[in-house]
């Protein structure tokens, strides 16, 4: 049972990295990343391929995964930065699908739907606590660093610019801040973190396959962030842990509803996720730990004199 | 008897901010009335409240003695109040003709005679009847906006800065048109940056300052008042 | 077959598939123009239409041509229902929040279908026809029929939008919602109608797509990228643009097969999205932004 809790804690940390990533882009700057699963996948495969194929050290693999995530993120936003945020949503949604397509079909590189196994861990993979505990420790550390980093960012002058960008694109552009550069950097940073999460996932489980980062994963991360509260890293991390608890407890779902097939149970579970997500956004859009912000008094637009 | 009366209107946009802090005003049938005042006085906001685009927090608006402050904008249009906003007052991708047709959207009869009459009054609209509104110049677009508002056969026309962005010649033409419209019995309430020109053709005027009534009276008297001239009329 | 006639054959195929693609693309772009957000619910509704049609056709034995309008109505009604349950309560939310919710709506609908019908591939009962041979080119009669269906629907829609007062009111609402309200247009009603038409178009196209191959709950998800690409290439918010964009994407996907493996067909749409957003974000016929 303790082993199980440790494993769940580790997964929650991995999800937590992704919610922090999403919080950086969506929660803070308002740039929506509907392809976060794709960046997770890119990170996972980059590190897995480099450490298994070219025998790079795990740490270097993770760094490479972050670079790959950042490059892909910067490349994608480049086309849409000057446009409305809707366009980024379309592009990122499409991107995740393309990543999946490539990984499924470039068998020579990725082994297709069979996935990659035997991915090395940062320290010897023994049974019992000797591996699981240190890895959880490592994950908590990484999560802590990302958490501190993003709270620091949030409260820096840079963070204030980011939030101003989220609240009003035009105002910040008028204020002379280089909005485009800020947005590009933030998005690349967030996708780098998603890449790192993917890499760590691979190094933890030793096996990755395309179905790990199905579009559903993206919805999970949005759900976690919505539950926890957008705009602050505490909410993001809390949301990830609650999400894992919900997902794990829904494993007992089939016992409550006998008489359905496995496919039907899976379908019910995903329907439930969709409903919970929509209900959260409708009735508690600020989450459990809402961002504490100064109440902005709306000013009339020019010409409303 | 007054066509429209507003009593002690309080309104604003945000959660707390009040732009209008209690404005009262009336317009008689067939009368031309101007609202003047410095920037931030709440002139445009006041027109939006009457048109039903912004709900007043307090106060009453009566049209022919029935209160309309709780009605939707479309219901107020139906009752004979047409509003021409300062900006975005036409449908850019619709043709001139289509803009006019939408202007008479609530009119269930045959729209063609009205449209013909409107295009006879504004020949430039006939010339460009199939052109998209976005291709018109600023002055032409303003004419189209007024014409589309008139398509609803209003009893009261609300105009927000009708001459903004127009050349002096186009502005003169517009004011002449307004006088002609008024001569047909349509009451006009307008907010105008070019206050002197507006006062010249108006019957009465109200001066708003910081969301409150400051002065009211005969347009000529207000235009001649030395203090008002010094403060708002640049002379 | 030499390269030139191969190219002609691919262009013919592309035109035929583009005609079907145009329907959901119009739906997507129309909803974007009037509701102001990209409604990703389109892929779930496309699948709903396809399965509604399958039940009537394969289970109750209705003729496939009778079933297509039914698919339109079924998906349209589901669209109006989700709109009433979710989106209408959130009209003041940021467009991007609505877009994210629409992804969840698709997730829900696809899984509801998976719950009821499983993941198995299903086919419609259609009369078998022989392909035409015209001057050495092969033209699928089935494809021609589905393309003709799609063109008819589009012609009707075009006439309604262009020549009726309702169509004008719809375009006026897309142009300037606040002003449309002042002019007396029931903008809520227009929004509901647009959702019905948009999702209905997706639903009907789900059947047309399924006639050619087979259907499963992810049928909409698979052509999602092509739909977005058609709308973006044509200019998001422009109906004629969506039609043109659909033909461009249809042809590009087919022609790309000369150099690319067929599995990468949907990548073509993605590449075109990126190219257009970088160099011509307003698309071929877009006017906004």
Q: Do B91 and C180 touch (CB under 8 A)?
A: yes
Q: Helix (H, G, I), strand (E, B), or coil: what is residue C37?
A: coil
The torsion defined by the Cα of A109, A110, A112 and A113, in degrees rounded to 10, comes to: 170
Q: What is the overall mean pLDDT for chain A? A: 84
Nearest to A264 among C100, C115, C270 (CB): C115
Q: How far is B23 from chain A (nearest CA, A)?
A: 14
A160: Cβ contacts below 8 Å, ≥ 6 apart: none
Exposure class string for B123-157: b at 16+ Cβ within 10 A, else e: ebbeebeeebbeebeebbbbbbbbbbbbbbebbbb
d(CA A281, CA A226): 7
The edge-to-edge listing of strands for the beta sheet with B81-84 is: B81-84, B156-160, B187-191, B32-36, B204-209, B212-218
Give me the half-sphere count of Cα atoms (radius 13 Å) on the Cβ side of residue A275. 8
Q: How many CB atoms lie within 10 A of CB A250?
A: 16
d(CA C183, CA C188): 14
Q: Model ipTM? A: 0.89
d(CA A154, CA A145): 14
Q: Which residues of C fall within a CB distance of 8 Å from B101?
A: 165, 168
CB A62, CB A200: distance < 8 Å: yes
Nearest to C179 among B72, B88, B152 (CB): B88
d(CA C167, CA C144): 29
Phi then psi dihedrals of residue C124, to 5 deg: -85, 155
d(CA C236, CA C281): 9
| Interface membership of C282 toward B (CB under 8 Å) | no
Tens digit of each residue's pLDDT (9 = 90 or more) over A229-261: 877 778 888 999 999 988 888 777 777 777 888
Q: Do C178 and B78 touch (CB under 8 A)?
A: no
| Chain C 227-256, residues with CB within 8 Å of chain A CB atoms | 228-229, 232, 236
Report, as an integer, the average pLDDT of A166-178: 59
pLDDT the model gives residue C1 = 61
Nearest to C168 among B85, B90, B102 (CB): B102
A144: Cβ contacts below 8 Å, ≥ 6 apart: none
pLDDT the model gives residue A214 = 84
Q: Which residues of A fall within a CB distance of 8 Å from C47?
A: none
Q: Which residues of A fall within a CB distance of 8 Å from C100?
A: 32, 34, 89, 222, 281
Instruction: Provide the CA A88 distance to its chain's centre, in angstroms.
Output: 16
Give me the half-sphere count of Cα atoms (radius 13 Å) on the Cβ side of residue A169. 10
d(CA B138, CA B131): 14
CB A148, CB A131: distance < 8 Å: no
Nearest to C270 among A83, A98, A278 (CB): A98
pLDDT the model gives residue A172 = 55
CB B19, CB B211: distance < 8 Å: yes
Contacts of C164-169 spanning 24+ positions with Cβ under 8 A? C165/B101, C165/B105, C166/C193, C168/B94, C168/B98, C168/B101, C168/B102, C169/B102, C169/B105
The model's pTM: 0.89
- Is the pLDDT at A303 greater than 50? The verdict is no
Instruction: Provide the CA B171 distance to its chain's centre, in angstroms.
Output: 15
Phi then psi dihedrals of residue B92, to 5 deg: -60, -35
At B218, which helix (H) or strand (E)? strand B212-218
Q: Do B51 and C178 touch (CB under 8 A)?
A: no
> Which of C38, C90, C37 shows the shortest CA–CA distance to A281?
C90
pLDDT the model gives residue A252 = 76
Closest residue in chain C to residue A26, using alpha carbons only: C96
Phi then psi dihedrals of residue A21, to 5 deg: -60, -50
> Which of A176, A167, A169 shows the shortest CA–CA distance to A297?
A167
Q: Do C100 and A89 touch (CB under 8 A)?
A: yes
Report, as an integer, the average pLDDT of A186-206: 94
Q: How confident is the model at residue A297 (pLDDT cuts 50, 70, 90)?
A: very low
pLDDT the model gives residue A292 = 58
B46: Cβ contacts below 8 Å, ≥ 6 apart: B6, B9, B11, B20, B23, B25, B35, B191, B208
Q: How many CB atoms lie within 10 A of CB C235?
A: 25
pLDDT the model gives residue A78 = 82
Q: How far is A140 from chain C (nearest CA, A)?
A: 29
| Chain C 19-38, residues with CB within 8 Å of chain A CB atoms | 32, 37-38
> Which of C51, C24, C22 shows the shortest CA–CA distance to C38?
C24
CB B77, CB B152: distance < 8 Å: yes
Beta strand spans in B145-196 (E): 156-160, 187-191
d(CA C23, CA C209): 11
| Chain A 251-290, residues with CB within 8 Å of chain C CB atoms | 261, 263-264, 266-268, 270-271, 273-275, 277-278, 281-282, 285
CB C168, CB B94: distance < 8 Å: yes
d(CA A176, CA C135): 63
| Interface membership of C162 toward B (CB under 8 Å) | no
- Is the pLDDT at A182 greater than 90? The verdict is no
CB A59, CB A2: distance < 8 Å: no
Tell me the pairing of strands B156-160 and B81-84.
parallel
CB A95, CB A35: distance < 8 Å: yes
Contacts of A160-168 spanning 24+ positions with Cβ under 8 A? A162/A28, A162/A29, A162/A186, A163/A28, A163/A29, A163/A231, A163/A293, A165/A29, A165/A30, A166/A28, A166/A29, A166/A30, A167/A30, A167/A296
- Is the pLDDT at A176 greater than 60? The verdict is no
A252: Cβ contacts below 8 Å, ≥ 6 apart: none
Going residue by residue through chain B (235 aa), what tens digit of pLDDT does each one get?
Answer: 689 999 999 998 876 678 899 999 999 999 999 999 888 888 999 999 999 999 999 999 999 989 999 998 989 999 999 999 988 999 999 999 999 999 999 988 888 999 999 999 999 999 999 999 999 988 899 999 999 999 999 999 999 999 888 888 888 888 999 999 999 999 999 998 888 889 999 999 999 988 899 889 899 998 888 888 877 665 4
DSSP assignment string, A215-240: HHHHHHHHHHHHHH-TTSHHHHHHHH
Tens digit of each residue's pLDDT (9 = 90 or more) over A122-152: 887 777 777 888 899 999 999 999 989 888 8
Going residue by residue through chain C (289 aa), what tens digit of pLDDT does each one get?
Answer: 688 888 999 999 999 999 999 999 999 999 999 999 999 999 999 999 999 999 999 999 999 889 999 999 999 999 999 999 999 888 778 888 899 999 999 999 999 999 999 999 999 988 878 888 887 788 888 889 889 989 999 999 999 999 999 999 999 999 999 999 999 999 999 999 999 999 999 999 999 999 988 999 999 999 999 999 999 999 999 999 999 999 999 999 999 999 999 889 889 999 999 999 989 988 998 765 4
Start-to-end Cα distance in chain B: 35
| Chain A 230-249, residues with CB within 8 Å of chain C CB atoms | none
């Amino acid at each position: 049972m303790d082993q199980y809790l440790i494993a769940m804690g580790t997964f929650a940390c991995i999800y937590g990295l992704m919610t922090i990533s999403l919080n950086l882009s969506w929660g803070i700057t308002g740039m929506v990343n509907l392809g976060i699963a794709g960046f997770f996948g890119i990170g996972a495969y980059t590190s897995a391929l480099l450490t298994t194929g070219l025998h790079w050290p795990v740490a270097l693999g993770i760094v490479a995964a972050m670079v790959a995530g950042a490059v892909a993120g910067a490349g994608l936003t480049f086309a849409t930065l000057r446009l409305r945020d809707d366009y980024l949503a379309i592009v990122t949604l499409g991107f995740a699908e393309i990543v999946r397509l490539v990984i499924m079909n470039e068998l020579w590189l990725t082994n297709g739907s069979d996935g990659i196994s035997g991915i090395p861990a940062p320290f010897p993979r023994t049974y019992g606590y000797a591996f699981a505990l240190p890895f959880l420790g490592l994950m908590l550390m990484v999560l802590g660093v990302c958490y501190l980093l993003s709270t620091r960012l949030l409260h820096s002058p840079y963070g204030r610019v980011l939030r101003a960008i989220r609240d009003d694109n035009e105002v910040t552009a008028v204020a002379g801040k280089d909005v485009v550069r800020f947005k590009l950097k933030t998005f690349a940073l967030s996708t780098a973190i998603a890449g790192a999460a993917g890499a760590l996932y691979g190094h933890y489980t030793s096996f990755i396959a395309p179905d790990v980062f199905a579009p559903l994963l993206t919805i999970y991360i949005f759900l976690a962030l919505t539950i926890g509260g957008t705009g602050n890293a505490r909410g993001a991390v809390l949301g990830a842990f609650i999400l894992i608890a919900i997902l794990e407890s829904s494993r007992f779902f089939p016992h409550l509803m006998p008489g359905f097939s496995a496919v039907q149970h899976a379908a019910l579970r995903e329907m439930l996720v969709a409903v919970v997500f929509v209900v959260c956004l409708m009735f508690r859009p600020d989450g459990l730990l809402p961002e504490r912000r100064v109440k902005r008094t709306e000013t009339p637009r020019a010409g409303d004199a | 008897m007054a066509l429209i009366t507003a009593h002690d209107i309080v309104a604003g946009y945000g959660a707390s901010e009040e732009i209008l802090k209690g404005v009262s005003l009336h317009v008689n049938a067939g009368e031309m009335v101007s609202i003047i005042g410095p920037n931030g006085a709440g002139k445009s906001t006041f027109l939006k409240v009457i048109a039903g685009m912004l709900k007043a927090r307090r106060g009453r608006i009566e049209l022919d003695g029935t209160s309309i402050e709780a009605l939707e904008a479309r219901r107020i249009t139906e009752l004979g109040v047409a509003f021409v906003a300062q900006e975005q007052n036409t449908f850019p991708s619709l043709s001139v003709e289509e803009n006019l047709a939408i202007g008479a959207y609530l009119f269930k009869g045959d729209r063609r005679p009205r449209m013909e009459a409107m295009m006879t009054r504004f020949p430039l609209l006939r010339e460009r009847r199939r052109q998209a509104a976005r291709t018109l110049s600023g002055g032409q677009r303003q004419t189209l906006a007024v014409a589309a508002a008139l398509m609803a056969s209003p009893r009261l026309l609300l105009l927000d800065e009708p001459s903004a962005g127009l050349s002096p010649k186009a502005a003169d033409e517009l004011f002449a048109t307004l006088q002609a419209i008024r001569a047909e019995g349509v009451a006009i309430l307008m907010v105008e940056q070019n206050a002197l020109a507006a006062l010249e053709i108006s019957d009465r005027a109200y001066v708003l300052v910081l969301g409150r009534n400051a002065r009211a009276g005969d347009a000529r008297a207000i235009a001649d008042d030395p203090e008002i001239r010094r403060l708002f009329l640049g002379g | 077959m030499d390269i030139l006639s191969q190219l002609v054959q691919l262009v013919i195929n592309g035109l035929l598939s583009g005609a079907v693609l145009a329907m959901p693309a119009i739906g997507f772009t129309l909803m974007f123009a009037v509701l102001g957000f990209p409604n990703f619910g389109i892929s779930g509704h496309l699948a709903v239409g396809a399965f509604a049609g399958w039940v009537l056709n394969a289970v109750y034995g209705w003729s496939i041509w009778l079933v297509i309008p039914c698919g339109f109505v079924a998906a349209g009604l589901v669209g109006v229902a989700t709109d009433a349950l979710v989106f209408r309560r959130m009209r003041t939310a940021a467009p991007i929040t609505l877009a994210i919710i629409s992804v969840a709506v698709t997730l829900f609908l696809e899984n509801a279908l998976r719950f009821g019908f499983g993941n198995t591939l299903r086919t419609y009962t259609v009369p078998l026809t022989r392909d035409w041979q015209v001057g050495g080119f092969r033209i699928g009669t089935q494809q021609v029929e589905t393309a003709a269906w799609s063109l008819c629907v589009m012609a009707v829609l075009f006439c309604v939008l262009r020549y009726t007062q309702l169509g004008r009111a719809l375009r006026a609402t897309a142009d300037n919602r606040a002003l449309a309200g002042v002019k007396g247009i029931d903008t809520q009603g227009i929004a509901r109608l647009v959702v019905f038409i948009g999702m209905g178009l997706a639903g009907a196209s789900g059947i047309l797509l399924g006639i050619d191959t087979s259907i499963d709950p992810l049928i909409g998800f698979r052509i999602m990228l092509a739909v977005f690409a058609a709308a973006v290439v044509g200019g998001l918010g422009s109906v004629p643009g969506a039609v043109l964009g659909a033909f461009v994407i249809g042809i590009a996907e087919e022609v790309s097969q000369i150099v690319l493996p067929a599995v990468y067909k949907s990548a073509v749409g993605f590449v075109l999205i990126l190219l257009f957003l970088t160099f011509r974000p307003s698309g071929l016929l877009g006017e906004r932004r």
